[in-house]
Structure 1
Amino acid sequence: MTLRALRRLLWGAVAATAGILVGAAWTFPAGAPAPLVQTESLLPVGGEFTLVDQTGQPRTWASFRGKPVAVFFGFTHCPDICPTTLGELSVLLADLGPRADDLQVVLVSGDPERDTPDVLGAYLQSFDPRIVGLTGSQSEIERAFSTFKAYRKKVPTEDGNYTIDHSAGVYLYDRDGSFAGTLDLHEDMEVRRRKVERLLARPRADADA
């Protein structure tokens, strides 16, 4: 799928779901900078964990230090919010141009039972190749979700299968691993891009040390 086609598909999905998503968007005066922190309802603190990425390589939270990080929680069997969000993040990375290489987007799976590294790898081929997927054992995933104060719950479905309810926002962290705000589907794409640009402009706290 071309980037132009992906943009048309994503904007159509956003228009179709905007009226039913829970929460309210912020509005800003013309020319005013968008605040990095949108809401106080989700304040993940970050912390240490060890998971594996889609190639089977171990990853810790500390291994992402030095770049701003956008963390999203989802699962590969998610029918709507997850592919829409990852698609929009892929468009955002494309729009940032070379600056996107300085931003790490991370998907943490809330469904380790089905989301093996191979499954994550195949799933992520539909999105920007710089996006990293993380999975692990049930206990490791539980620790990671707890670390970020994120929510997940396994919900049985009528066909005998199950789905995963989970936190749907994108959490932003600065180069030092500190929480810096959120991105949300309620926000205009331009607002999200401005938030990420401001995050990319932040140096590390020890840059002048």
Structure 2
Amino acid sequence: MLRALTLALGLAAFPAAGQSPFPVEIGGPYALIDQHGQTRTQEDPDGRAQLLFFGYANCLNICSAALPLMAQVVDELARDGIEVTPVMITVAPDQDRVETMGAPLAAIHPDFIGLTGDEAALQTAYDGFNIEITKLFEDPEYGWIYAHGSFVHLLDASGETLTLLPPVLDVAQVAGIARGYLEPKS
């Protein structure tokens, strides 16, 4: 499965240890604000791997598939003793604010971290992860609808990108790929 994903992403072979598997750099440092008003960087403060997605809490499109998938994968990996934090960086800071994104994310998974920030801080994260965002149209009930990247990024605890996971895979497939990169904590 991992080989199939590698080929699907256009990668010729698995990288050597310490070598990036991607033809471009993916990831980098950022400092954003979580739904509790605390600054958070790409490093997980609890030493956990992370599933990172760029989206928005009230998205009715790809986010409504990717965010629940991430939650289910987190629970599946936890059964194996692998702790992973689900993280969403907003692409809609006008809608996802500190005071508004916590409840919808907690409804998906109690450990979900939502991140927002000012334009410059968010742009740093978007640039680091090569995320492009386009405003499509304004929905009268939900606000702006955005087109944005759809991959889930698997990061290690220090925030280094390990691989990309397409949210069209099922829970078992995504968890299986993640297991190939992560080890249970003893």
Q: TM-score, structure 1 length as denominator?
A: 0.70
Write the distance in 2 (CA, Å) between the matches of 1:101 and 1:133: 21
Write the distance in 1 (CA, Å) between the matches of 2:167 and 2:155: 18
Map 1:24-173 → 2, pairs under 5 A: 28=1, 34-35=2-3, 37=6, 38-40=8-10, 45-64=26-45, 66-99=47-80, 102-157=83-138, 161-173=143-155
Distance 1:40 1:57, change over 3 A: farther
Query: Does the 8 Å contact 2:53/2:88 carry over to 1?
Result: yes
Structure 1: segments with no counterpart, 5+ residues: 1-27, 29-33, 204-209
Structure 2 residue matching 1:139: 3-state secondary structure: helix
Structure 2 residue matching 1:199: 3-state secondary structure: coil
2:19 aligned partner: none
Question: What letter is aligned with 2:116?
Answer: T
Q: Which deviates more from structure 2 when the two are superposed, residues 47-56 or residues 122-131?
A: 122-131
Distance 1:101 1:86, change over 3 A: same
Query: Does the 8 Å contact 2:80/2:184 carry over to 1?
Result: no
Write the distance in 1 (CA, Å) between the matches of 2:139 and 2:171: 36
Query: Does the 8 Å contact 1:104/1:130 carry over to 2?
Result: yes
Max Rg structure: 1
Structure 2: segments with no counterpart, 5+ residues: 12-21
Structure 1 residue matching 2:159: 3-state secondary structure: coil
Structure with the higher fraction of residues in strand conformation: 2
Percent identity, please.
24
Distance 1:175 1:55, change over 3 A: closer
Deviation at 1:106, TM superposition (A): 0.8
1:198 to 2:168 alignment: no
Distance 1:194 1:48, change over 3 A: same
Distance 1:157 1:201, change over 3 A: same
Q: Which deviates more from structure 2 when the two are superposed, residues 160-169 or residues 188-197?
A: 160-169
Q: TM-score, structure 2 length as denominator?
A: 0.78
Question: What letter is aligned with 2:97?
Answer: T
Structure 2 residue matching 1:114: 3-state secondary structure: coil
Structure 1 residue matching 2:181: 3-state secondary structure: helix
After superposition, the C-alpha distances for 1:113-133 in whole angstroms (9 at most, x for unaligned) are 121011110111211111111
CA-atom RMSD, angstroms? 2.8
1:186 aligned partner: 168
